[in-house]
Amino acid sequence: MFKRWIAATVMLLPFVLPGQSRLEGIVRDARTQQPLSGATVQLLNSGKIAVTDDQGRFVFTGLSENSAIAEVRFLGYKPVRTQLAAGTVTTVDLEEGITFTDEVIVTATRASGKTPTTFSTVDKITLRKQNFGQDMPLLLNWTPSVVTTSDAGNGIGYTYINIRGSDATRINVTLNGIPYNDSESQGVFWVDIPDIASSTENIQIQRGVGTSTNGPGAFGATINLQTLSQRSNPYAEIIQSAGSFNTWRTTAGFGTGLLNNHWTIDGRFSRITSDGFIDRASSRLQSYYFSAGYNTRRTTLKAVVFGGHERTYQSWYGVPESRLRNDTTAMLITAANEGWDEEQTAHLLSSNSRTFNIYTYKDQVDDYAQDHYQLHAAHRFAQNLTGNMALHYTYGRGFYEEFRKNDRLSRYGLSSVIIGDSVISRTDIIRRRWLDNDFYGFTYSLQYESASLSLTWGGAWNRYDGRHFGEIIWARVSDVPKDYRYYYSDARKTDFNSFFKATWQINDRLSLFGDVQVRTIDYQTAGNDNRQNTFDVDVEYTFFNPKAGLTCQLNSTAQLYMSYAVANREPVRRDFIDNPFNQWPRPERLGNLEAGYRLQNKNYALNANLYWMNYKDQLVLTGELNDVGAAIRTNVDRSYRAGIELDFTGTISPRLIWSGNITLSRNKIKEFTEVLYNYGDNWEFDPPQEVRRTYRNTDIAMSPNFIAGSVLAYKPVQRTEVALLSKYVGRQFLDNTSNKSRSIPEYFINDLRLSYSFKTARLQEVSFSFIINNLLDVAYESNGYTWGYLGGGVEYRENYFYPQAGRHALAMLRIAF
């Protein structure tokens, strides 16, 4: 509790510095009155340039004059010259120009200022400040209700994001409106597109169900990412980062600007390498991005190609609690429970308590590549009518390699090997498990806007073809065939959705919102899984997802909103594999109520939101196993998440800007039955007996009831910034029993970021940035899992955690031409 009060105090303590005269203003869209982020404001007499933030604000400080003429530019809008005066916040309204911007690519699936749902927007400037080469979840860590974790412990490699306690499989992610979630697991693997942040224009995060989008159902949030918009001026940049754990990142990007008033081309190459915090948790990442666009007053065409190749050493297993505590007796019990031999046990006992990795084989790696191809076309048929269509194709392929010590040959459909008088049923092997897949389809939307009515019809058809197979590439016994394929299955999934959204402005204050979506899924598999079991699935689902709400504009700066939304979600691949045939779990259903207050004026913005997320048949782990020992997820009848979210941004003084957020929540399962397996007091039960324990009103696993984030940025002189980034995450339970002995303790961490930039006659910008992560060197874990059983009259529990790095640093140099 003391740590929580410290975190709350740091994040709620205002700092006030003496004010100074300055020239400032806000840039807006003349038609919608929405702020324009990323607009360029240049003082004509001095040539000094400012770029608007996510609130459309800009500021010039340290000037000798009290007034100046400025030129304001933003792609797709007519440039404007205006007079700026000290002591006055100048509002600049830009009208649409001769080109048609590519924002239309994502607007069909995004919320607007009138949409009665809860969302945050992260702009390119904010991403750039934090982008030292770590994965996207780490860059979004300071948005509301977010918890992030990294297998390697330093945010490079396999990195994940939870929002409102919902993991990545329950977060819908789209890239330019194209679904990114894996079709079968519904997971999101940012490691496959490393450094995508360098090619991102902005990101909208809708918490809860949100508005209708493409891809799997949003059960915790929607992350809607737009890649680079066309820029009017040519540019080139080189970024070099380096830091702890032998981390290196090189990025080179370029853009032609607007060619012949119509064409733009952008490109980027990136390479990121790191040894990781956890032992051998190395990452070797490469990525690229290219886009070419053609714009006229009514039409935009854009081709986007991007992808990446990752080779990461596996650090998936986690660190046993016994190793974290340095408890030798408990470590010996862990080794016995895991079935580890003398060599593996000695490795456990001798490893570092926070960086232990059970894997020691040199090629225990995950090796995967992914290429994305998108073609977008948008056309304005009339002043109020716009259409958009996109074709897409993604090709993914790769494997993870494992050394398996003394493994059973029967697991691979192989007979025992007879050598002389010896019958060999076990041997050391090296195997690769492959995934080769194609994902393709199209998205569409048609949008109508008038002064009082906004209509959107949209949707998508997507097809996934996946091939799963495993091969033994080496075995200690020579009779195993070379590159022996021991399983193969294919999967086909067709996902179609169509939605219709409407916003009706009843009067100057009140608007109504409606959103109806129909989604159909056809999922089929054939073949066998990695355990040699037949894996044949043929299921169809049809989901109806309605949403409705209203927004009340109280005055020019404040509004109230309320909405209710329904979402449905199908089981994932593992649910079909692990559960007995024809006993597959039911789809999940969520009803989501959101109610909030938004306030925005020239000095600060405040959002307050109440939410209620009521689940029917949510899938959770209970401890139950199938006949081959795999964990089964089971539907629980009723569960819910309820909470309040507060987030704010304020200009405390001309030099000090503070943004922060706090989430307080309850995340409960009304009734939960845990399953443990009892091998008997004398280990006489084979198979073991089931022991069922029923709990009521328990906490949902990995759902902290208190999350807070803060970014306090101070600018002592022009072009210099010092920022303190703070994050507090409350206790997280590893299972659904609310047992404190199986939980991750609360943690409070702080990062310190320094940046300085300048310009020269030949260089657009040179910037130096430096960040100290985990400034106070806190030893903490951000993720984990648990399992247990009964035997010999004792209840055994094994907890595994994912420790995150202590104090470590990264430095970055950016040169823009």
Based on the number of CB atoms within 10 Å of its own CB, is 371 exposed (0-12), middle (13-18) or buried (19 or more)?
middle
Rounded to whole angstroms, the maximal C-alpha distance in the chain is 97
Is the dihedral angle over the CA atoms 108, 110, 112, 114 positive or is it negative? Answer: positive
End-to-end Cα, the chain, rounded Å: 50
Cα separation of 63 and 21, whole Å?
8
Distances (CA, A) of 303 to 103, 208, 379, 394, 635: 14, 31, 15, 14, 42
Cα separation of 692 and 698, whole Å?
15
Quote the pLDDT of residue 206. Answer: 96
Percentage of the chain surpassing pLDDT 70? 95
Distances (CA, A) of 607 to 125, 257, 361, 586: 21, 36, 50, 36
Cα separation of 695 and 672, whole Å?
5
Read off the tokens for 62. Answer: 């340290």
In the chain, the amino acid numbered 811 is: A
Q: What is the 3-state secondary structure (H, E, C) of 620-663?
A: EEEEEECCCCCEEEEEEEEEEEEEEEEEEEEEEECCEEEEEEEE
Distances (CA, A) of 79 to 56, 71, 260: 15, 7, 17
Q: Give DSSP secondary structure letters for 449-508.
A: E-SSEEEEEEEEEEEEEEEEEEEEEEESSTTSPTTEEEEEEEEEEEEEEEEEEEEEE-SS
Instruction: Give tens-digit pLDDT for 340-369.
Output: 999 999 999 999 999 999 999 999 999 999
Stretch 12-24: mean pLDDT, rounded? Answer: 53
Residue found by looking up tokens 């519904």 in the block: 186
Read off the tokens for 371. Answer: 């290429």
Distances (CA, A) of 124 to 127, 199, 368: 5, 9, 28
Cα separation of 354 and 325, whole Å?
9
Question: With 90 as the cut, is the pLDDT of residue 593 above it?
Answer: yes
SS3 435: strand
Residue 700: which residues within 8 A CB-CB, separation 6 or more? 165, 620, 639, 641, 667, 668, 669, 733, 736
CA neighbor of 768 nearest in space, from 236, 241, 396, 127? 241
Quote the pLDDT of residue 128. Answer: 92
Banded model confidence at residue 65, pLDDT cuts 50, 70, 90: confident
Stretch 227-237: mean pLDDT, rounded? Answer: 87
**Residue 634 pairs with which residues in a beta bridge?**
620
Stretch 162-183: mean pLDDT, rounded? Answer: 96
Residue 172's CB is within 10 A of a number of other CB atoms, namely 27
Type and span of the H or E element at 664: strand 656-678
Q: What are phi and psi of 128, to 5 degrees?
A: -60, -40
In the chain, the amino acid numbered 258 is: L
Instruction: Give tens-digit pLDDT for 751-800.
Output: 999 999 998 888 889 999 999 999 999 999 999 999 999 999 999 999 99
Asked if 671 and 695 touch (Cβ cutoff 8 Å), the reply is yes
Cα separation of 77 and 65, whole Å?
28
Stretch 394-411: mean pLDDT, rounded? Answer: 94
Distances (CA, A) of 400 to 272, 314, 316, 366: 20, 9, 12, 4
Instruction: Give tens-digit pLDDT for 658-692.
Output: 999 999 999 999 999 999 999 999 999 988 999 99
SS3 87: coil
Instruction: Give tens-digit pLDDT for 300-341.
Output: 999 999 999 999 999 999 999 999 999 999 999 999 999 999
In the chain, the amino acid numbered 803 is: P
Instruction: Give tens-digit pLDDT for 409-461.
Output: 988 988 888 888 888 899 999 999 999 999 999 999 999 988 889 999 999 99
Asked if 222 and 205 touch (Cβ cutoff 8 Å), the reply is yes
Asked whether the whole model's pTM tops 0.75, one would answer yes
Asked if 755 and 129 touch (Cβ cutoff 8 Å), the reply is yes
Asked if 184 and 313 touch (Cβ cutoff 8 Å), the reply is no
